[in-house]
Chain A
Amino acid sequence: MTLITTPNLDGHDAFMAELLDAHRGLSEAESQALNAQLILILANHVGDLDVLREALALAGQK
């Protein structure tokens, strides 16, 4: 498998809103913790080290 970089999530607007809602009222540290857990949970869900490496590279691109 390779990293999907074309549109793949139908409810992206909903997800964005729910992601921001999840952070509402959280302190800076709590937000950081939430983000970190999300990354870990999603990484496990993806379940493919090569895909995750591509994602890391894409995120790191300037």
Chain B
Amino acid sequence: MPHEYKSFAYNPPPGLRTPEPRHGVVIVGAGPVGLAMALDLAHRGIASVLLDEGDRVATGSRAICWSRRSLEILDRLGVADKVLDIGTPWQVGRTCYGDQEVFTEDFGRDPGDRMPPFVNIQQYFIEEFLVDAVLDHPLIDLRFKNRVIDVEAGTEAATLSIKTPDGPYMLEADYLLACDGARSTVRATMDLEFEGEMFEERFLVADIEMEADFPPERWFWFDPSFHDGQSALLHRQAGNVYRLDLHLGRDANAKQEVRPEKVIPRIEQVVGPDFELDWVSVYTFQCRRLARFVHGRVIFLGDAAHVVAPFGSRGGNGGLRDVDNLGWKLAAVLQGRAPETLLESYDRERVQSADENLTQAIRATRFMTPRPGVEQLFRDQVLALAGKAEFARPWVNPGRFSQPTVYRTDAPDDRLLPALSRPGAVAPDAPQGSGWLMQALGAEARLVAFNCDPPAGLEVPKLRAEVNETVRRRYLGRADRALYLIRPDQVVAARWVAAEPKAVSAALRALWEGRE
């Protein structure tokens, strides 16, 4: 049975009658990114108005594969339990050439991690969980059927023109967060251009329901025997719903391909006749981004800022990390705890991450859909070699999976400490008593002391961590003690084996100023 989409209530906004006072934050777009953004800010005490032109969650599974980091972020926002409850955790990806398996990746599970490397769950579930949490939060004013049609970006505020079923109205905001997706109206009305590559290859994407015993693994085929396109992907989601992506080529006709008489036989060739089709769509890739994500009082996040080809799960996961990066910075600026320049570091860090995602996605796309001639030649020969030489197996590129970017930084570091938790990286999780380090870190900046006393007198919450095997491996390496300064988004800001109080207080200042 296809997912039952419920309509959320529309209420006429107050601004239809009398002008509303200027809001601190207005968020445009209640997709996964806008919803998570509103929640993250609310948890930090910042109120927001969240506008969406529709009144339902996303149609079809769309982003299905959520990374460990996304699960940690969703946990901080209070919805990870629901995701883990019905999602399908997985860790093995298998890639075939024809009918022969040529490359297997196991992302493994480490007992030091609370979260699995990936959980598959349809985007509409993620959005439903987030909407429920948003509607429960008194600091968020979620307005469905509020379509932004124009934006005036000033130096001190942004003004929005909004259309509702009851007519138009205006809103003013200190900060406008544009989370309105790949076809962002905010981006268009500000005349900002997306830069990058568009691809012409068409892919069919379908959600099918079936009672099958396919393992919860990612299966990818190059030149499959059961489909006449160049590639196919089958991946299990929550429930008995499977995701199927079939490469159709350049010349496929999108309208015809989604017709039942065309699509059903295609899918039957892959999985046999016993399935129900829940959703089908045809899409093309883009790998593009805005040159800058921060434009004065207007800040872009998620697909509104950058779009990537899907194989590698960088859309949804990248968007959540934008939220993770911006939330604490904007809250600190609005609460007067940090200078506005801190927001520049959002631009710098997330542009760096978007570029990593774009580079990876473009490489994978070229491997999957090579141009005729020499691109096709090398692609095919990598696949041929993978069947006979071990070295070529990891050269096969069915999409490289999203890993959290390690931000560039010159912050204090010590070579005795392990690379995994270097400054700029997300602090790795570790068991702590009956709980987890990630939970103990919470959403504040923190000084974490391993086998030592944190220096006194600094204005930052401190945590004395339990030292166990995982902590030793992930935080101490060749040292016997260490002090870590960790940002509110759980990124390591700086670390020392022997910390001078002066150095720690300088690093703390750099953190709140957003210095590289």
Chain A residues with a Cβ under 8 A of chain B: 32-33, 36-37, 40-41, 44
Contact = CB atoms under 8 A, between A and B. Distances in A.
Interface string B42-82: 00000000000000000000000000000000000000000
A33 B388 CA distance: 14
Nearest to A47: B391
Nearest to A29: B377
Contact of A33 (B380, B391, B392, B395): B380
Contacts of B380: 33
A41 B389 contact: yes
Contacts of B381: 33, 36-37, 40
Interface string B353-386: 0000000000000000000000001101110110
Contacts of A32: 377
Contacts of A44: 391-392
18 contacts: A32-B377, A33-B380, A33-B381, A33-B384, A36-B377, A36-B378, A36-B381, A37-B381, A37-B384, A37-B385, A40-B378, A40-B385, A40-B392, A40-B395, A41-B385, A41-B389, A41-B391, A44-B392
Contacts of A33: 377, 380-381, 384
Interface string B168-200: 000000000000000000000000000000000
A41 B388 CA distance: 11
A41 B382 CA distance: 10
Nearest to B392: A40
Nearest to B388: A37
A25 to B, nearest CB: 19
Contacts of B395: 40
Contacts, number: 22
Nearest to A45: B391
Interface in B386-402: 389, 391-392, 395
Contacts of A36: 377-378, 381
Max chain A Cβ within 10 angstroms of own Cβ: one of B381, B385, B391? B381
Given A36-B381, A40-B382, A40-B392, 7 more contacts: A33-B384, A36-B378, A37-B381, A37-B385, A40-B378, A40-B381, A41-B389
Contacts of B389: 41
Max chain B Cβ within 10 angstroms of own Cβ: one of A32, A37, A44? A37
Nearest to B380: A33
Contacts of B392: 40, 44
A29 to B, nearest CB: 9
Contacts of B391: 41, 44
A33 B383 CA distance: 11
Nearest to B389: A41
Max chain B Cβ within 10 angstroms of own Cβ: one of A32, A33, A36, A44? A36
Which 6 A-B residue pairs are closest in the complex by CB-CB distance?
Answer: A36-B381, A44-B391, A37-B381, A36-B377, A36-B378, A32-B377
A33 B376 CA distance: 10
Contacts of A41: 385, 389, 391
A32 B382 CA distance: 13
A14 B377 CA distance: 27
A47 to B, nearest CB: 9
A44 B381 CA distance: 14
A44 B390 CA distance: 11
Nearest to B395: A40
A50 B380 CA distance: 25
B327 to A, nearest CB: 37
A61 to B, nearest CB: 19
A57 to B, nearest CB: 18
A37 B391 CA distance: 12
A51 B318 CA distance: 33
